[in-house]
Chain A
Amino acid sequence: MTTLEFMKNLIRHPGQTVDVLKEKSRLLFLVLIAINAPIFGLVWVAGHFIINLAAPIIWIFSIIFGLIALLLPIGIFSLTYFSIAKLVLKENEVGRSLKVTTFYYLLAFTVVNMLLIPIEIVSLVSHNYYLIVYIYDISHLILLFWIVALSVQGVQLLRKDSEFRTLMKVSISIFTAYIIGTLFYLRAAEIIVNYVIR
């Protein structure tokens, strides 16, 4: 199975891909980070300097910022998820469930950011800021749903435990990690945009 085929399957039949994830996880993580960093950087940094997109410095900034902005929340998310999941899941399953959840977190992030780029360009060029906030919030809800739904399904396939227990434990871990991760991330993004880039 090629990486592209795997990605297609992952979106269409997520349940079938958990086993492959165990073997190819390192490569897939790298592929996703490589795709996501410039996209994420563009969404955030180029969004602030859309008029000066031709300047090469903006592109360099975008990629550096994209990497920081991508790895920072994932790091915080994984760390929080790991700590909480350790409390609620059985100890030997935490590592695997962390891998599955972080992977889906990254995947959902990539797809949502890809969708955000054209919307952001249209709204910035047309000065319709309401559209961008609106779409951003909806995409955030969809992102959260995707992370929770895919992770619950993935962890359920790994654990073979009662569906309800997995649902509750994974939801608690993800929601807490997401809230803490978002709070840290928003503050970090504010500092980077206000004090480093500007």
Chain B
Amino acid sequence: MSYLSALKNSILHPTEFYSDLNKTEPNTIKALITLLLTSSLIILTIFLGPIIYGSDLIYATFDYQTNTFIIQQLTTFQFFGYYISSNQYLLLFFDKIFFVMKMWLLFIGFIYITAWVFQENKRIRLTKTFEVIAWSSSLLIVLAGITAVFLGLRYLIPLYYHYIYYFIVVAFFFILFPSYIVLGLGKTTSLSLFRRMGLIFAPIILFFILWTVNHSEILLGRLM
């Protein structure tokens, strides 16, 4: 199966795709390419934000959140050897892709550790976990396409398009994407449905705890 048809199958026919994936040995290179492709498209979507919203709100929020995220602060080492100014868009683009890749690895690592703790009969492999999450992430490519559609919709329904867009983004990240991972992990592990869902929520809770480290003002802002 060619790479492109595999990509298409992973989005359109996930059940058959993950069944086939389980029969073969993990192909880390293909998985890494998928992850890079998805990460690039996510960042491209965020860079397109200013065009959709007519302001740099999405990009500015993302930039602030990434720079103040505790993991980024602990692992950053000035990727290009010097501070990147805000108008060096291409370098910023690669820097942000690197950030997203780091977050994917953290996410996969934490899922692997949690799965290892929850394991029943069949021992889960790190390469397999990596492959499943990477192929599940291919779904987010569709989100980039939807963003492109909303670029046009902002002219047709200017008052409501961002509400619809917001719900679609939430649905992708909290319903569709976790469902794909739960399905993928179901084919490769013997974990029960309940435990597999726990594997998705555990990293979300961990990310939230890590996020709160530098953002107490946002949490407390609700009280004031």
Chain A residues close to B by CB (< 8 Å)? 14-15, 129-130, 133-134, 137-138, 141-142, 145, 148-150, 152-153, 156, 162-164, 167-168, 171-172, 175
B window 190-208: CB within 8 A of A: 192-194, 197-198, 201, 204-205, 208
Residue from A129, A142, A163, A168 in contact with B175 in the complex, judged by beta carbons closer than 8 Å: A168
B209 close to chain A: CB less than 8 A? yes
**In the complex, A21→B60 CA distance in Å?**
49
> Across the interface, do B179 and A168 meet the contact criterion of CB distance under 8 Å?
yes
Given A171-B175, A175-B174: A149 and B201 interface contact (C-beta under 8 Å): yes
Chain B residues close to A by CB (< 8 Å)? 14-15, 170-171, 174-176, 178-179, 182-183, 186, 192-194, 197-198, 201, 204-205, 208-209, 212, 216, 219-220, 222-223
Task: Give the chain A neighbours of B171 by CB distance below 8 A.
Answer: 172, 175
> Across the interface, do B194 and A168 meet the contact criterion of CB distance under 8 Å?
no
**In the complex, A138→B205 CA distance in Å?**
7
> Across the interface, do B208 and A172 meet the contact criterion of CB distance under 8 Å?
no
> Across the interface, do A145 and B201 meet the contact criterion of CB distance under 8 Å?
yes
Task: Give the chain B neighbours of A167 by CB distance below 8 A.
Answer: 179, 182-183, 193
Interface contacts beyond A168-B175, A171-B179, A175-B174: sample of 13 additional A-B pairs, CB < 8 Å, sorted by A = A137-B208, A137-B219, A138-B209, A141-B204, A141-B208, A142-B205, A145-B205, A149-B194, A150-B194, A152-B197, A153-B194, A167-B183, A168-B179
Task: Give the chain A neighbours of B14 by CB distance below 8 A.
Answer: 164
> Across the interface, do A145 and B208 meet the contact criterion of CB distance under 8 Å?
no
> Across the interface, do B198 and A149 meet the contact criterion of CB distance under 8 Å?
yes
**Residue on A with the closest CB to B200?**
A145
> Across the interface, do A133 and B197 meet the contact criterion of CB distance under 8 Å?
no
> Across the interface, do B197 and A129 meet the contact criterion of CB distance under 8 Å?
no
Given A149-B201, A167-B182: A129 and B223 interface contact (C-beta under 8 Å): yes
> Across the interface, do A163 and B194 meet the contact criterion of CB distance under 8 Å?
no
Task: Give the chain A neighbours of B209 by CB distance below 8 A.
Answer: 138
Least CB distance from B222 to A in Å reads 7
Residue from A137, A150, A156, A163 in contact with B183 in the complex, judged by beta carbons closer than 8 Å: A163
Least CB distance from B175 to A in Å reads 5
**Residue on B with the closest CB to A164?**
B183
Least CB distance from B124 to A in Å reads 18
Task: Give the chain B neighbours of A134 by CB distance below 8 A.
Answer: 212, 219
Top-5 shortest CB links A-B: A145-B201, A149-B197, A171-B175, A167-B179, A153-B194
Task: Give the chain B neighbours of A152 by CB distance below 8 A.
Answer: 193-194, 197
Task: Give the chain B neighbours of A14 by CB distance below 8 A.
Answer: 194
**Residue on B with the closest CB to A156?**
B193
**In the complex, A108→B175 CA distance in Å?**
20
**In the complex, A156→B208 CA distance in Å?**
29
**Residue on B with the closest CB to A141?**
B205
- Of B193, B219, B222, which is in contact with the most chain A CB atoms at under 10 Å from its CB? B193
